[in-house]
Amino acid sequence: MNRKVRVRFAPSPTGPLHIGGVRTALYNYLFARRHGGDMILRIEDTDSHRFVPGAEAYINEALAWLGIKIDEGVKEGGAYGPYKQSERRDIYREHVKKLLDAGKAYIAFDTPEELEAARAAKPNFQYDASTRMSMRNSLSMPAGEVEKLIADGTPYVVRFLIEPGRDVEVNDLLRGKVVINSSILDDKVLYKSADDLPTYHLANIVDDHLMEVSHVIRGEEWLPSAPLHYLLYEAFGWSDTRPEFVHLPLLLKPDGKGKLSKRDGDRLGFPVFPLEWHDPASGAISTGYRESGYLPEAVINFLALLGWNPGDDSEIMSMDELIEKFSFDHCSRSGAKFAFDKGRWFNHEYLQKMDDAELAELFIPVLKAHGVDTDKFSKEYITCVVSLVKNRINFVADLWDQARFFFVAPAEYSEKDIKKRWKEDTPVIMRELIEQLKALPSFKSADAEPVILAWVADKGYHLGNVMNAFRLTLVGECKGPHIFDITELLGRDETVSRIERGIEAIKA
Ligand code: GLU
């Protein structure tokens, strides 16, 4: 069938979007864009008990941050709205009635206690062809009684009438065809009169149909529901336009077996949510990728490769490149281990690609947070600092560790480095070095370096000891970029005064 590609991401606003949900959204988006299709964001808020305030806003903000653009949705509008299920009650009611009128669904009055008793009485009880006539429903009860109960306002549910003993063949674009027998299915609840809302199964089918969804791309946890969904399409007479199904493999723990959970993130130190989440009930705060210093492009690239590959060995891919290459042919059927260290690697790579001036802009708030008066430093200075140390960072915040000494003189000196590099004769040599530096015609790295090296050689000093002692006075420890790049940036006065301070403060 050749029809316009229309996909939907259909989260339930029951809490923050999990990183697995983000990947589902991303694959929907990549597929839609790849085929010039539409991306719908549908809010599935039919489970009133699990509704969490703030969750919908969080979903919108997370997708916007990640650059996953929505064509139709609550905010965006569109020709197929409303896009929030709680606003589609009359549509569902009408469709429930259609199934009831056609004899494909029935009304059931069993109370929770009655259902409990039925389960207790029969091991593996299932509400289906073998049991439904012993339960309280419109198939087992006289019509008059059913009408009276409804008229009295007795709460009821509508159940899907599953015909037993039928082979249902379902197709998944990743997994191929699977045949299951309808006898293993139960008569699923489609609608509850108590809150006048449909269940996920009904709402999903009706909406996907009415919104002309061409591909349902969702998590593997919904695979067991696929046969039921097929039967619902059939019951409505919509089998011809039923969407294609794709059930994405699970995200797995980075180590060991099983599904990725929030606890894995806490245990191993990585976020499982795109943005920081403040739980409105408990007040607990969970960190997000954004707040942990990840760039959205890096998160996207990392997630795209968890369950898909481009068919070649490219790794760094922009959203546009991902769109260009995306196809289900290269999606894996088995779960993808959540290699969070790879996520850090991607972030490192994207930071390297970033323009130095742009990175400097991101560094300024970090400097401020550490009490640096950034007005004292020019934009060029900060940009140069960034260019010198950026290859050592995975996150913007790491810039502070790598570059603090460009903004504040060391207040302490590493004991370990003093022991190794600060000898008895070091103060004398450092004083001579000061004279050499003062006499340099140019303080530029490339000009200063050969002069100083020649002086060291001439004197017969140990190069490593001299340079490391020098570095210790400038940085506070024996690390950092090329020393003459540091001195060029610090300037002659600051360099000399740091050596003087070092001579005073460091005692071998
Ligand atoms: N509301 C469901 C969820 O939160 C959607 C599943 C689907 O995409 O069909 O996962």
Mutate to test the pocket of ligand 1, among 18, 200, 216 (most ligand atoms within 8 A of CB): 200
Would residue 262 show up in a list of annotated catalytic residues for this protein?
Answer: yes
Q: In the predicted model, what is the mean pLDDT of residues 428-448?
A: 98
Does the predicted model carry a pTM greater than 0.85? yes
Task: Supply angle C-alpha 380, 385, 386, rounded to 5.
Answer: 95
Strands 277-278 and 251-252: unpaired
Dihedral angle over CA of 244, 46, 41, 307, nearest 10: -50
Compute φ and ψ for 151, nearest 5 degrees. -60, -35
180-184 contacts at long range (C-beta below 8 A, 24 or more positions apart): 180/227, 182/227, 182/231, 183/128, 183/129
Contacts of 181 (CB under 8 A, 6+ apart): 165, 166, 167, 168
Q: In the predicted model, what is the mean pLDDT of residues 361-365?
A: 96
20 close to ligand 1 (CB < 6 Angstrom): no
Strands 157-160 and 105-108: antiparallel
Q: In the predicted model, what is the mean pLDDT of residues 397-415?
A: 97
Distance 394 CA to ligand 1 centre (A): 34
Kindly write down the DSSP assignment for every residue of 429-485, as one continuous string: HHHHHHHHHHH-S--SHHHHHHHHHHHHHHHT--HHHHHHHHHHHHHSSS-SS-HHH
Q: What is the mean pLDDT of the chain?
A: 96
Residue 264 banded pLDDT, cuts 50, 70, 90: very high
461 close to ligand 1 (CB < 6 Angstrom): no
The radius of gyration of the chain's CA atoms, rounded to the nearest angstrom, is 32
The pair of structure tokens assigned to 112 is 């929770």
pLDDT at 50 over 90: no
Residue 10 to residue 22: CA distance in whole angstroms: 11
Contacts of 30 (CB under 8 A, 6+ apart): 304, 322, 323, 326
Single-letter code of the amino acid located at 292: S
Residue 183 to residue 206: CA distance in whole angstroms: 24
204 close to ligand 1 (CB < 6 Angstrom): yes
222 close to ligand 1 (CB < 6 Angstrom): yes
46 close to ligand 1 (CB < 6 Angstrom): no
Residue 489 to residue 386: CA distance in whole angstroms: 11
In tens, the pLDDT along 224-244 reads: 999 999 999 999 999 999 999
44 close to ligand 1 (CB < 6 Angstrom): yes
pLDDT at 1 over 90: no
223 close to ligand 1 (CB < 6 Angstrom): no
Distance 239 CA to ligand 1 centre (A): 20
In tens, the pLDDT along 186-209 reads: 999 999 999 999 999 999 999 999
DSSP one-letter code for 281: T
Distance 11 CA to ligand 1 centre (A): 5
Give the residue, by CA position, lying nearest to ligand 1 atom 3.
Answer: 11
Q: In the predicted model, what is the mean pLDDT of residues 419-445?
A: 97
Distance 153 CA to ligand 1 centre (A): 31
Q: In the predicted model, what is the mean pLDDT of residues 346-374?
A: 97
pLDDT value at position 508? 61
21 close to ligand 1 (CB < 6 Angstrom): no
The length of the chain is: 508
Distance 440 CA to ligand 1 centre (A): 69
Strand partners, 159: 106, 189
pLDDT at 500 over 90: yes
Distance 267 CA to ligand 1 centre (A): 27
Residue 507 banded pLDDT, cuts 50, 70, 90: confident
Atom of ligand 1 nearest to the CA of 208: 9
Atom of ligand 1 nearest to the CA of 204: 9
In tens, the pLDDT along 137-161 reads: 999 999 999 999 999 999 999 999 9
- Out of 262, 337, 342, 420, pick the active-site residue: 262
The pair of structure tokens assigned to 128 is 């289906």
Cα distance between the two ends of the chain: 81
Which residue in this structure is represented by tokens 């199934």?
A: 99
Strands 197-198 and 244-248: unpaired
10 close to ligand 1 (CB < 6 Angstrom): yes
- Residue 361 burial class via C-beta count within 10 angstroms: exposed 0-12, middle 13-18, buried 19 and up: middle
11 close to ligand 1 (CB < 6 Angstrom): yes
The upper half-sphere exposure of residue 256, i.e. CA atoms within 13 Å in the direction of its Cβ, equals 8
Mutate to test the pocket of ligand 1, among 218, 221, 230, 247 (most ligand atoms within 8 A of CB): 218
Strands 157-160 and 189-192: antiparallel
Mutate to test the pocket of ligand 1, among 8, 9, 12, 228 (most ligand atoms within 8 A of CB): 12
199 close to ligand 1 (CB < 6 Angstrom): no
CB count within 10 Å of CB 324 equals 13
Distance 12 CA to ligand 1 centre (A): 7
Distance 185 CA to ligand 1 centre (A): 20
Contacts of 401 (CB under 8 A, 6+ apart): none
12 close to ligand 1 (CB < 6 Angstrom): yes
Distance 188 CA to ligand 1 centre (A): 17
Given a contact cutoff of 8 angstroms between Cβ atoms, the answer to whether 165 and 183 are in contact is yes
CA-closest candidate to residue 322, choices 355, 354, 346: 346
